[in-house]
Amino acid sequence: MATDPAAQVAQLEFVVREQMRHIAELQAKYDALLEEMTKEYGAHAALVAIYSDPTKPDSVRAKAAASALPFEKPKVAAPQQAPVFSLYDYLEAARLKKLKVIEGKPQDEPPAA
């Protein structure tokens, strides 16, 4: 680095300008990527981008995460209950059916012609 303070300041100003230009380019690429992602995947992609961005305030990120959560994790539904099986009812129906067959009155079959 040059020993002249004016030359040092000029060099540092040049470095800062180059860094700012590079940051602006990266920001433009990020904005274009975010726009394409939103077009492709919709509002959910925008929410993911917001809650994934560490530069956003925590309150904004938390709100975006809460809004995106129903699309990422389905609600746990109550387990479906199987119909109750009653052994007594089953055996009683079988007994009555057998009784009707013994009496000569088949329950499900039409009389033979």
Residue 17: inside a domain, yes or no?
Answer: yes
**What are the Cα distances from residue 22, in Å, to 28, 30, 36, 45?**
10, 12, 21, 26
C-alpha–C-alpha distance, residues 96 and 83, integer Å = 22
Domain tally, the chain: 1
Residue 41: inside a domain, yes or no?
Answer: yes
Residue 110: inside a domain, yes or no?
Answer: no
Work out the average pLDDT over 49-68.
Answer: 90
Work out the average pLDDT over 25-39.
Answer: 88
27, 19 Cβ separation under 8 angstroms = no
Find the angle CA(79)-CA(84)-CA(88) to the nearest 5 degrees. 165
- 36 has a pLDDT exceeding 80: yes
- 112 has a pLDDT exceeding 60: no
Q: Work out the mean pLDDT of the chain and round it to a whole number.
A: 84
Residue 55: inside a domain, yes or no?
Answer: yes
Residue 96: pLDDT band with limits 50, 70, 90: confident
Q: Which amino acid is at 2?
A: A
Residue 73: pLDDT band with limits 50, 70, 90: confident
Percent of the chain topping pLDDT 70: 87
Per the structure, the complete domain to which residue 12 belongs is given by 5-72
